[in-house]
Chains A and B, each alone.
Chain A
Amino acid sequence: MNDQAEPKERIGVYVCHCGSNIAATVDVADVAVWAKERLGDEGVVITHDYKFMCSSLGQELIERDIKEEGLTRVVVAACSPHLHEKTFRTACARAGLNPYLCELVSIREQVSWVHSDRQAATEKAKAVVAGGVERVIHNEPLEPLHIPIHPATLVVGGGIAGIQAALELADSGHQVYLVEREPSIGGHMAQFDKTFPTMDCAACILTPKMVDAGGHPHIDLFTWSEVVRVDGFVGNFTVTIRQKPRYIDTDLCTGCGICWEKCPKRVIDDVYEAGLGYRKAVYTPFAQAVPKYPVIDPENCTYFINGKCRACEKFCPTDAIKFDQEEEFITVQVGNIILATGFDLFDARRVPQYGYGRLANVFTSLEFERLCNAAGPTNGQIVMRDGVTKPELVAVIHCVGSRDRNYNNYCSVICCMSSLKFAHLVKERTGARVYNFYIDMRTAFKDYDEFYQRVLEEGTIFVRGRVAEVTDAARLPSEDGKLIVQVEDTLAGRQRRIPVDMVILSAGLEPRHDAKAVAHQFGISCSANGWFIERHPKLDPVATMTEGIFIAGTVQGPKDIPASVSQGAAAAARVLGRINKGEIELEPVRATIDARHCSGCRICNGLCPFNAIIFHEDAMVSEINHALCQGCGTCVAACPAGAISGSSFSNEQIMSQIEGLLLFDRPVRSRHFSAV
């Protein structure tokens, strides 16, 4: 750097008050005056502080200065680039300045909102501004990339959210690939008997949608399948789906059911029947399964175990049993992906004091759903574990695994309402006395609180307090043979022991056990809890930080059926917008390999999440395909030779910004980084 040279850029610095959001903590006027004085040698020719830079007047201020003062660079000190980077870049573009020569530095999220000492915050704001100024000098004009959008969409997860998303897209005439891990779509909702607060039959409202999805001309359904590989980027993903062998030729199978009738092997159904019922080794999970084709479970099938039996094959009227079927890999091209992979139920065994798995008549919520279900193992009879006795006293415990520092801090949202539903169903079907043990009653949303009133009026007894334990150790003769719920009744202000026949644990919702792996596969992030992170918690709940990947339903966090359906539809709407536009404009932040400095060491070759790096065996150098590169920077960081640079994140930009931040109050000319 030549010390005597005139600054080569003309830089404007704009400091935003953000009402009082910034101005209450940072002396914005002082920052603006300081920047003009101290950063003049760096090329700052004009500075302003303004009440709301994002207002049209604020934007016009920048545009005017670009035109009248001939600014070549702009630094706006305001909120996070997430919010208004686009606003100010667009303003610059309107005035004829390349938008990427504008830098937004955050003095709100990173300064005023996190500090209370006005003087120190003002100093920090100056440092942040100095960093931005040093950086913007090295910014280069860039042109946005235009990427065409493939009109097909992948929906992962065939629960209600995924089905809704798939139907919305398919109904508008676009191709959808719907992938489901289980043999049938339907998800958790297919296991429920009734849905709160209307007490609609879950199957009655769900199965029409399942049938629609199953037979839709624009939906290709892949059940008993998983996504194993995702290549590419927004607009043009290549997805590899592994279809596990059903051992059934679906072209021949009519779903008549003779195979599972004849199959001699009974297997406890841990998935659909929650362990309460049986299925055969060849089975469909439930009567209304979509598709109708069964699967053979090779771990339990006698033929697969010892090579004998083949009863199903013998009796199949269409010769559809194919024991030699192998897994298939199908590759599809899609422009966008919607993840609706749902939740796992909290495992109530993890709360040993509630006795699930040890005390026979402690049930989980899912088991209870199956008990209630007319198509379930008891044909809808609410009975105790012996299969015949009707309970006379029933306890429903809320918040099992939720709102509990030992397990999950969050509220699982649906359990209060489903617990009320259980109370209602028990009352209705058995006439038993029901106790609900709750911490707080959460019945927000339409018609929910009315349902609570109804259950109260039905005579359910509500005890406010977290249950300490469920035990079969009787202390009084009246407790003999009962389960005793020990609880502090916080409204009555005393300990109570309530003997009951049956306990239902309202287990919370947890992220899928493999959520992190799935997030990694699709290049998105999980929160610390494991829920997928949306682009913005309020304003962009179904998009993710990865372009082209959307999320819907409980994969994003606990929610009930209406909310899941809304998200499914919302994600579909976002995708439809993309498809209709035909292309997407992307930030031109891309990595480039300087072939002169590339040694062909191949460190970067396996790292690119978008498979954008090609290795040329002949020249022994690697190259980046800019159409595939998403500018994530993984290879830039990894390149041991420093041969890969990322536009907008060059070493010069980053080092200069750091220098500006750290040395903002030093004499300007001592700053420049010399260690290259």
Chain B
Amino acid sequence: MSKNGQAPKEKPKFAMYWAAACGGCEIAVLNIGEKILDVDANFDVVFWPVAMDAKYKDVEAMPDKSILLTLFNGGIRNEENEHMAKLLRQKSQILVAFGSCANEGCIPGLANLSSMQEVFNAAYESVSTENPQHIRPQFSYQVPEGMLTIPLFYPVLRTLDQVVDVDYFMPGCPPESHQIAAVIDLVIAVLHGEAELPPKGAVIGVGDSTVCEECQRARNIKKITKLVRIHEVAEVDPDLCLLEQGILCNGPATRSGCGARCPSVGAACIGCYGPAVGVVDYGARLMTAVASVIDSTEPDEIEAILDGIPDPAGTFYRFNLAHSLLHAARPAMEEVIG
């Protein structure tokens, strides 16, 4: 139902697609509650694999630019992802990189630290995997009936904007439901001529600053003398900045918009909302910030404090690696270059 109770005659078309993603973004969309009915009232949902049956060939048959709004989540990990990204770009007027994977690569993007072989080893040969015949995926396989193929797996994961032109970016792992609802409200308002779309390339469903702005914890001049994991702290002060308690919190570098949900319940921000306005490399930003407030001038002591970060790449680049300046580590890049 639209706000003025009048549905347009021919409803604009809506699509949502998942590429290399966990499915959380889809859940987040459904999690907006009754607002989903507004989507249905205002849009004709033409393609949404998690919610309705549709074939790729149906999309291929649609006229170009016939879909008004496509929310695309997931990174570009294989040939199929790339095909769908390009296809939906061609068919959509507004393409939104939806959620951390499509924006920055997210957790799947961390595989860019490893070669394709290492990725397969982890998937098919780990201690917890039962695979006595050492079976690996074959991208094409001859059977009596003909050649079977599965989509080619790429050496590195790319973000949506590294593959196609993207109109808007909506970060979050997943985006917060209230932000999704707000964006949907905005698009509907635009449809009714009550609002204007933000400029192309804008990051939407976010605040202007970083998570600290939304965080209620008290803050002081930072001097870090130790870095610990949260379970190593006997008693976390509920009112004091986590970073000041030695718990590495990504809040200072992470775009606001989530409402500081993690720090407000005593868990450090892990950075799912991505970089702040204008920041090119999230991890580098956060690293220089943390390094700047290490309170020591003794190399050995600094080293010892930094040893408190068990997994630096996974901490500073947990969500952002595929979109960082580095993009991928050497083993993976070598496979790309050949």
> A residues engaging B (CB < 8 A)?
520, 596-607, 615, 620, 634, 637-643, 651, 655, 675-676
Contacts and interface: CB of A to CB of B under 8 A. Distances in A.
B22 to A, nearest CB: 25
A596 B208 contact: yes
A639 B213 contact: no
A606 B209 contact: no
Contact of B219 (A602, A639, A651): A602
20 contacts: A597-B209, A599-B211, A599-B212, A599-B213, A599-B251, A599-B252, A600-B212, A601-B219, A605-B221, A607-B292, A634-B292, A638-B293, A641-B285, A642-B275, A642-B276, A642-B277, A642-B285, A651-B280, A655-B280, A675-B325
Contacts of A676: 278, 280
B202 to A, nearest CB: 11
A284 B222 CA distance: 44
B181 to A, nearest CB: 24
Nearest to A520: B297
B276 A641 contact: yes
Which 4 pairs of residues, A with B, have the shortest CB-CB distance? A640-B253, A638-B292, A640-B289, A599-B212
A640 B210 contact: yes
B273 to A, nearest CB: 12
Interface in B201-215: 208-213
A640 B285 contact: yes
A459 B87 CA distance: 98
Nearest to A636: B288
B210 A599 contact: yes
A371 B95 CA distance: 88
A675 B323 contact: yes
Given A601-B251, A601-B252, A675-B280, A638 B212 contact: no
A614 to B, nearest CB: 12
B129 interface: no
Contacts of A651: 278, 280
Given A602-B219, A602-B222, A637 B278 contact: no
A601 B276 CA distance: 13
B286 interface: yes
Contact of B286 (A620, A634, A640, A655): A640
A597 B207 CA distance: 9
Given A599-B213, A599-B251, A601-B210, 15 more contacts: A520-B297, A597-B210, A599-B211, A599-B212, A600-B219, A603-B289, A603-B292, A620-B213, A639-B289, A640-B253, A640-B276, A641-B209, A641-B210, A643-B209, A675-B323
Given A641-B209, A675-B323, A603 B252 contact: yes
B256 interface: yes
Contacts of B219: 600-602
A601, A602, A675: which has the most chain B beta carbons within 10 Å?
A: A601
A251 to B, nearest CB: 40
B279 A642 contact: yes
Given A597-B208, A641-B210, A607 B293 contact: yes
B220 interface: yes
Contacts of B222: 601-603, 605-606
Interface in B263-310: 275-280, 285-286, 288-289, 292-293, 297
A600 B210 CA distance: 9
B178 interface: no
A610 B210 CA distance: 26
A651 B275 CA distance: 15
A6 to B, nearest CB: 22
A640 B252 contact: yes
B192 interface: no
A640 B285 CA distance: 5
Nearest to A615: B221
A646 to B, nearest CB: 13
Contacts of B13: none
A606 B221 CA distance: 6
Contacts, number: 89
Which of A597, A598, A615 has the most chain B CB atoms closer than 10 A to its own CB? A597
Contacts of B220: 602
Contacts of A596: 208-209
B223 interface: yes
Contacts of B325: 675
A292 to B, nearest CB: 39
A603 B280 contact: no
Contacts of A607: 292-293
B280 A599 contact: no
Contacts of A597: 208-210, 276-278
Contacts of A641: 209-210, 252-253, 276-277, 279, 285
A641 B271 CA distance: 12
Contacts of B251: 599, 601
Nearest to B214: A599
A606 B288 CA distance: 14
A637 B288 contact: yes
A599 B253 CA distance: 9
Nearest to A674: B161
A505 B58 CA distance: 93
Contacts of B221: 602, 605-606, 615
A377 B286 CA distance: 61
Q: Pick from B210, B223, B280 the residue with the most CB of A within 10 Å.
A: B210
A658 B285 CA distance: 18
A655 B325 CA distance: 11
- Which of A600, A603, A615, A641 has the most C-beta atoms of chain B within 10 angstroms of its own C-beta? A641
B213 A638 contact: no
A597 B279 CA distance: 11
A605 B279 CA distance: 20
Contacts of A605: 221-222
B250 to A, nearest CB: 8
Given A638-B288, A638-B292, A639-B289, A599 B209 contact: yes
A606 B252 CA distance: 15
A637 B286 CA distance: 10
Contacts of A603: 222, 252, 289, 292-293
A643 B252 CA distance: 11
Contacts of A604: 292
A661 to B, nearest CB: 14
Contacts of A598: 209
A615 B280 CA distance: 26
A668 to B, nearest CB: 20
B10 to A, nearest CB: 34
A637 B253 CA distance: 12
B263 to A, nearest CB: 11
Nearest to A676: B278
Nearest to B159: A675
A598 B221 CA distance: 15
B137 to A, nearest CB: 32
Contacts of A655: 280
A561 to B, nearest CB: 34
A634 B210 CA distance: 20
A598 B275 CA distance: 13
A642 B278 contact: yes
A593 to B, nearest CB: 11
A597 B252 CA distance: 11
Interface in B188-237: 208-213, 219-223
